[in-house]
Amino acid sequence: MSTLVILEQIYGGWHRMSWEALAAAQQMDGPVWAAVAGGANVNTLAADLAGKRLDRAWAVSHQLLTAYTADGYTAALAELIRREQPDLVLLPHTYQVRDFAPKLAARLGRTLVSDVVRIRRDDQGLVFTRQLFQGKLNADYRAVGPGPHFASIQAGACRADQVQAGTAAVEAFTPELDASMIRAAPQDPFREAQRAVDLTAAELIVSVGRGIKEQENIALVQDLAEALGAEFAASRPICDAGWLPMERQVGSSGQTVSPKVYFAVGISGAIQHLVGMKGSKCVVAINKDPNAPIFEIADYGVAADLFEFVPELTEQIRKLRG
């Protein structure tokens, strides 16, 4: 069984999740292939692949791939996959992959199994495990029919430091692209105004989620943050609602933090939140649902109603600190 992993370059470097996907591919038995797409610069970048355990590798390069577009990437990679016929195609589940991989699989008449946490093979073939209901349940999906099968790998599901070194010869692949195929005209990426709040250096963070229910209740959790001398942060829905500024959002579209202790108050533990705080040394989760996914990664769990528990905790901390 051959596995092709499609690695991602972003802003001229490697997306860190590329290596997690490569590690996943190397855990499959059979030949491992890799491809990376881009403009002229991709050839320099692809030189990094020469030191990895890969049976084949391609630098898919074309002037029309210099700026990422779903149209360009889909056409180029579909051409490579049609020619080489891998049995399995793996990608990192990044925002860019979300943007083109479903299209790529559909163009080849297949379905992408997205955001996969585990892949195994039994006597009937491939089984992909992925989450349902924002991590509340897991599901096994079985690949049926002929390959190539497509799967994208969830952030953190595999470890980049497990990529095996070796040697690989990187081949050039020049897809047949034409400017008329590319409909989107993307401009340069930008960041909004400079962040006034830097959560990345905080030692203690208290983060509030939708369990808080109303804007007026936010103060309750803010009190806890003050008593602890912690920075105050939130999950996305709190910032979407305008209850706290965006710059306090933790997660894949917010900040990535790694404090000594991260208090998750009324936060369910969806992967897009977890990727922003999984690096915390210690996670304390407070949630009234004992099955909330946040407890899967917490060090200390309190299954309680935050409206009862948080004021009590704040008071005890205040007493202690005098």
Partner 1 sequence: MKILAAIKQVPARDSQLRVNDSGTWIEEPDTSEINEPDAYALEEALQLREKAGGEVVALCAGPESASQTIREALAKGADRAIHIEDDDLGRFDSLGIARILAAAAATEQPDLILTGLQSDDLGFGQTGVILAELLGMAHATIIMKVEPRGTGIRVKRELEDGWFQNTDLPLPAVLTIQSGINKLRYATLMGIKKAKLKEVRKLTASGLGVAVEPSVRLERVFMPQRTKQTRMIEGSVRDQAAALVEALRHEVRVL
Ligand X SMILES: Cc1cc2nc3c(=O)[nH]c(=O)nc-3n(C[C@H](O)[C@H](O)[C@H](O)COP(=O)(O)OP(=O)(O)OC[C@H]3O[C@@H](n4cnc5c(N)ncnc54)[C@H](O)[C@@H]3O)c2cc1C
Among 40, 47, 50, 137, binds partner 1 (CB under 8 A): 137
Instruction: Confirm or reject binding of residue 209 to ligand X (CB under 6 A).
Output: yes
User: Does the footprint of ligand X cover residue 175 (CB under 6 A)?
Assistant: no
Stretch in the footprint of partner 1 (CB under 8 A) among 19-27, 29-37, 67-75, 164-172: 67-75
| Minimum CB distance to ligand X, residue 49 (Å) | 28
292 binds ligand X (CB under 6 A): yes
Candidates 157, 233, 270, 283; binder of ligand X (CB under 6 A) is: 270
Based on the shown chain and the rule CB under 6 A, indicate whether residue 86 belongs to the binding site for ligand X: no
CB 310 within 8 A of CB 284: no
CB of 170 to partner 1, least distance (A): 26
Q: Which does 245 bind (CB under 5 to 8 A by kind): partner 1, ligand X, none?
A: none
Q: CB under 8 Å, gap of 24 or more: what pairs does 246-252 form?
A: 246/192, 247/195, 247/196, 247/197, 248/197, 248/199, 250/199, 250/205, 250/207, 250/276, 250/277, 251/275, 251/276, 251/277, 252/95, 252/155, 252/276
Segment lying near ligand X (by CB under 6 A), choices 31-39, 74-82, 141-149, 252-260: 252-260
* 278 makes contact with ligand X (CB under 6 A): no
Beta carbon of residue 40, minimum distance to partner 1 (angstroms, whole number): 21
- How far apart CA 254 and CA 243 sit, in angstroms, is 15
Which residues contact residue 198 at a Cβ distance below 8 angstroms, ignoring those fewer than 6 apart? none
In whole angstroms, give the CA distance from residue 311 to residue 31: 57
Whether residue 309 contacts residue 287, with contact meaning beta carbons closer than 8 Å, is answered with no
Tokens 């953190």 appear where? Answer: 156
Given partner 1, ligand X, none, residue 218, with its beta carbon under 5 to 8 Å by kind, binds none
Per CB under 8 A, the segment of 21-29, 54-62, 94-102, 167-175 that binds partner 1 is 94-102
| Cβ(270)–Cβ(154) below 8 Å | no
